[in-house]
Structure formats: C-alpha cells, structure tokens
A and B are shown apart, each in its own frame.
Chain A
C-alpha cells in the first residue's frame, strides 16, 4: 500500500479484556515502531522491530503488553487484561532503515471502560 495502515481504527474494550492491534507497514520497510499517545501528550516509544527481530522493548509499560512481527512485515500489538490507563492512541511507524525518518499510520484509538 501507499502508507502505513492500522486496524481497527477504534476499539472499545471492557476492563479485563484482551485486545490485538494490527499494523501493516510500508512494503519493504525494515524497521517498525510502536508508540503510545495519551490524550494531550506526545507519542511515547513502546517497542522496535528490525525485520522479525524485536530489538528494543524497553518502552512496554508492563508484561501485559506484547508485540510480534513473525514474518518481518505485519505486526500485532497485544494488550492483555486491559486497564483504564491503557486508553490511548497506539501509533505504528515504519522506515527503510533507522534514523531516516519514520512514516506513521493513522493510529488505533483504544478506549477501556
């Protein structure tokens, strides 16, 4: 596709439910990033993949958060036992190589009730 796509665009979950958020990066992009953007804040780094390898997961806030990119293309961010503080926009970004500027998807807005 022409850009990074994410699905679903909106997700409402009851507290305690598990959710899965999908990211389709730009074709051929090696690097893939996940960010969390709380209301009124700038995005905060969650995790980074180079192809299928997860090289940095230092930003994941708890062990309830898990990300994968098994074939080096599509990535899924999974949140288990969602809590209200998980409500945010989750942004995915990709780039050809690191440091050249990341292209962002439209995000998934997660609301946990």
Chain B
C-alpha cells in the first residue's frame, strides 16, 4: 500500500536559519508529489508540486523541494526561515491512473525561535 512518512514530528529552528523537512514515500511508479502548509485554523495551502521533469521544484514563499527517485524522497527546503513560516507542513503523494486522491504524511510542526 502507498504510504508517506515524515520522520520529524516537530522541528524548531531559529529565525534566519535554513530548514529542511523530510518526506519519504512508498510507491512503485513515479508519483505526483506535493507539499502543503497548514496554519492554525486554516485550510491547507499548496506550496509546490512535482509531476515530472526537473527534479528541483520551486514553490511559493521561497520554498523548494527536490525529488530523489533513488531515495524515494521529496524533501522541502528553505534557505532562511521567517517567523511567519511557523506552521504544520504536510507532504502528500498522488499518482496517475486513479482518482487523484492524495495520501498524506503525518505532518511536521515547525516552530521558529526569534
């Protein structure tokens, strides 16, 4: 069965420091990969997505992610974190040939220290 693992439940970084959130998926074919952010009381906002082509994708708010097929990973990065980035981040996978439903990881809560 398809699954998504976000190994870090909670991460704390200092404002201005770099950030990397990990995501691993389990699926045989090439998946569609997404990162979403959820602020308290808000819905999920799409940060970026990967379908095919260049394995380094750029998203909104200065985020980027790199697809590594050999590691079944799609890690999210940001070179300099801002206090407003504090939120919960979800990695999700979908795949072609089905309904398009997404399978989400458990999420990583990001705390930013001043």
Interface residues of A, Cβ cutoff 8 Å to B:
4, 31, 33, 35, 40-45, 48, 50, 55-56, 59, 91, 93, 95, 98-107
- Identify the 4 closest CB pairs spanning chains A and B, nearest first: A98-B100, A42-B104, A104-B44, A56-B99
Measured CA separation A50–B107 after assembly (Å): 28
Contacts of B43 in A (CB 8 A): 4, 91, 104-107
Are B51 and A99 closer than 8 Å at their CB atoms?
yes
Contacts of A106 in B (CB 8 A): 41-43
Contacts of B14 in A (CB 8 A): none
Are A104 and B99 closer than 8 Å at their CB atoms?
no
Interface hub of A31, A43, A100 (most chain B Cβ within 10 A): A43
Given contacts A41-B107, A91-B44, 9 further A-B contacts (CB under 8 A): A33-B100, A33-B101, A42-B90, A42-B106, A44-B104, A45-B102, A91-B43, A99-B100, A100-B49
| Interface magnitude class on chain B | 20 to 34
Contacts of A95 in B (CB 8 A): 100
Measured CA separation A35–B90 after assembly (Å): 14
Contacts of B100 in A (CB 8 A): 31, 33, 48, 95, 98-99, 102
Q: Does B46 contact A (CB under 8 A)?
A: yes
Contacts of B42 in A (CB 8 A): 106
Measured CA separation A98–B100 after assembly (Å): 5
Are A45 and B103 closer than 8 Å at their CB atoms?
yes
Contacts of B96 in A (CB 8 A): 99
Are B46 and A42 closer than 8 Å at their CB atoms?
no
Measured CA separation A42–B106 after assembly (Å): 5
14 of the cross-chain contacts (CB-CB < 8 Å) are A33-B102, A41-B107, A42-B105, A42-B106, A43-B90, A56-B98, A56-B101, A91-B43, A91-B44, A95-B100, A98-B100, A99-B96, A101-B34, A101-B46
